[in-house]
Each structure stands twice: as structure tokens, then as C-alpha cells.
Amino acid sequence: MAAIYSLYIINKSGGLIFYKDYGIQGRMDTNDSLRLASLWHSMHAISQQLSPIPGCSGIELLEADTFDLHCFQSLTGTKFFVVSEPGTQNMENLLKHIYELYTDYVLKNPFYEMEMPIRCELFDINLAQAIQKDRVSYLGR
Amino acid sequence: MAPAVPRSGDAIFANVERVNAELFTLTYGAIVRQLLTDLEEVEEVNKQLDQMGYNIGIRLIDEFLAKSNVTRCVDFRETAEVIAKVGFKMFLGVTASVTNWDTEGTCCSLILEDNPLVDFVELPDTCQGLYYCNILSGVVRGALEMVSMKTEVTWVRDMLRGDDAFELQVKLLKQIPEEYPYKDDE
């Protein structure tokens, strides 16, 4: 039983720079993940414009029958979102933690090119640990 | 604005990993020295330091936002305060004060009385035009650019040049709106 299906990171121009799936459910091939990322980017932008509340920062949670999509956008425009089992709690904190890992292990890597796909092993390792921890605390509940 | 915005970086500073201050100061000194050897012209070194700072700033801003929990600032005045009180504390271990506001609220000075970068530095006669800490101006400029503020950052006072403090002038040139470039009805 997996709480989180997959994780996406999109740069400020809407390009998918990181995708990882966890478990068998909701797995996507490269084309579909790219499509979902750019679709989400546009939907997020449209939601900001459609919102009746001025200064809205876009969709944070999309609830569907078979999954929840939690999204966090940093003030610099990078979006992090996880697709998870419906009703999964505490995703805001996980996304925030992933953002911190991204600043530490991606942005501080001098050989990482900004806005480009993320290929950083340290990030992968630390991310796996964070997800694992989240899963353990989820099962323990 | 949200009341959760930290007014000082002390708590964050206490939690982040730190290095020995001397190692930091000496490493920076070695970089500046090497640049002077490589580029020969003091003007070029100033430019290079600013560019290096910019490259740091555009990445550093995300760490700042991730770890400080600051939310969107309402205006440039708040931005300047947050940089001085939270930003400088978090990354440099010192705080700056904000003064010399112009009437429009788009230009101000950050005053640093303590600056760990210059702990052992004396400028020789051959480097009089050097802005030794020019990396800092680049960092501020780069960081603000990533949160859609175009700024111009210049040194007004420099203790290495005999002034009584470090004064960094930050001038807001323009605020790029964050809206997507939608052209409705076109």
C-alpha cells in the first residue's frame, strides 16, 4: 500500500524537470508525464486567473475519485506536486520538505544547470528517505 | 500580511549548518586574489565578483524561501527589511539596518557595520578601485530578480576605503508582474 503515487517538479516555464513514481499505481510513461506536467502548469495558471479571490496563488489540491494531487509553488515559480492516494494527509509538509531538499541537493550542486532536468544522485537518495519516512509515519497512524 | 513572517533570522541561523568563519573569510580572500591575478584589471574583477554573486543569488533565494518561511512581501520596504534582518543573518551571520529611503520607497541603503568578509583585509594601493565585497551586491541583485524585482545594487560606503560602515544601495528598477503573458482578445 502506497500513499504516494508519484512526484513531479516543474520549472517556471512549465517544463518537467523531475518525475518519479512510487509503486505500481498511477505509473506513467515519459510522454504522459510530460503531458501531465505541462497540462498542470497551464491549469494552475488558469486557476489563478479564474479565482474570485484576488492574489490567488493557484490550485493547491485537486481531489479526484482515484487520486489526490497536492501542489506547492515556490515564490520563484517552481512547482512541486505529488499524486497520492485519496485522502492522504500531511502532503503540504512533505512538499515543503522536498522543496528544502531541492534547494540543498539540486541548487547547491555547482554542476546543476538551472531550469534543466534534475539528475542529482544525492537528491534521489535524500528524496527516497523522505518519502520512506513519510510512508512509515503514514502506516503507523 | 501573515503574522508568521520572522522578523529576525536568529532562529534559522541557529539551525543551519555553519562553517568556521575564518575558513569562509580566507576562502573568499583567496578567490578575490586569484581573480586579480587572472583578470589583472580591477574593474574586471569587480564585474566578475558581481557576476559570481548573481549566480549564487539566483540559487540562494530558493533556500532562503524554503528555510525562512517568509511569505510574499507586500511592498519593497518589507522586502528590504526581510533581506537585512533575516537574509543577511541567515547566510552571513550579521544583520544590516535599512535607511535612506527615497520618497517613492524604491531606493534604500542596507548598512552593514560588521562584515565577516573583510576580517583580515587591507586594500593595497594597487587595488584602490576594487569593491572587495562586490559579490554581496550580486547576490542581492540575483536573489531579487528571481522574485520578479529588477534592481540595481551598488556600494556607497566601504570600510576598506576608509568609510565608517558598509553601505549597499538597493534601487528597485521595475517589478515584473508575475502574470503569464496572456494577451486577451488578441
Interface predicted TM-score (ipTM):
0.86
pLDDT band at B3 (very low <50, low <70, confident <90, very high): very low
Q: Which of B5, B17, B58, B59 to mutate to test the interface with A (most CBs of A within 10 A)?
A: B59
Q: Are A132 and A4 in contact (CB under 8 A)?
A: no
Structural domain span for residue B129: 41-175
Tell me the three cell numbers of residue A121. Answer: 544522485
Of B1 and A79, more confident? A79
- Establish if B91 belongs to a structural domain: yes
Q: Are A71 and A81 in contact (CB under 8 A)?
A: yes
Q: Which of residues 62-91 of B touch A (CB under 8 A)?
A: 62-63, 65-67, 72
Q: Which residue of A has its CA nearest to B181?
A: A45
Distance CA A101, CA A125 (A): 10
- Establish if B14 belongs to a structural domain: no
Tell me the three cell numbers of residue A87. Answer: 485522502
Quote the minimal CA–CA distance from B146 to chain A in Å. 6
Distance CA B149, CA B171 (A): 10
Q: Are B94 and B116 in contact (CB under 8 A)?
A: yes
Average pLDDT on B164-172 reads 95
Residues 6+ apart with CB under 8 A from B59: A103, A107, A108, A114
pLDDT band at B180 (very low <50, low <70, confident <90, very high): low
- Establish if B7 belongs to a structural domain: no
Distance CA B43, CA A101 (A): 37
Residues 6+ apart with CB under 8 A from B186: none
C-beta atoms surrounding B8 within 10 Å: 12
Which CATH number does the domain housing residue A106 bear?
3.30.450.70
Residues 6+ apart with CB under 8 A from B48: B35, B39
Residue type present at position A140: G
* Secondary structure of residue B163 in the 3-state scheme: coil
Average pLDDT on B18-37 reads 93
Tell me the three cell numbers of residue A17. Answer: 524537470
Tell me the three cell numbers of residue B102. Answer: 527615497
Q: Which of A17, A48, A75 to mutate to test the interface with B (most CBs of B within 10 A)?
A: A75
Helix (H) or strand (E) holding B159: none
Q: Are A44 and A61 in contact (CB under 8 A)?
A: no
Structural domain span for residue A40: 4-140
Flag whether pLDDT at B186 surpasses 70: no
Q: What percentage of chain B exceeds 90 in pLDDT?
A: 73
| Count of domains observed in chain B | 1
pLDDT band at B2 (very low <50, low <70, confident <90, very high): very low
| Count of domains observed in chain A | 1
pLDDT tens sequence across B121-164:
999 998 989 999 999 999 999 999 999 999 999 999 999 998 99
Sheet with B149-157, strands from edge to edge, namely: B97-99, B107-112, B166-175, B149-157
A:B CB pairs within 8 Å: 37
Which CATH number does the domain housing residue B49 bear?
3.30.1380.20
- Establish if B66 belongs to a structural domain: yes
Residue in the structure block whose three cell numbers are 565608517: B164
Contacts of B62 in chain A (CB under 8 A): 74, 76, 78, 99, 102-103, 107
Distance CA A42, CA A50 (A): 12
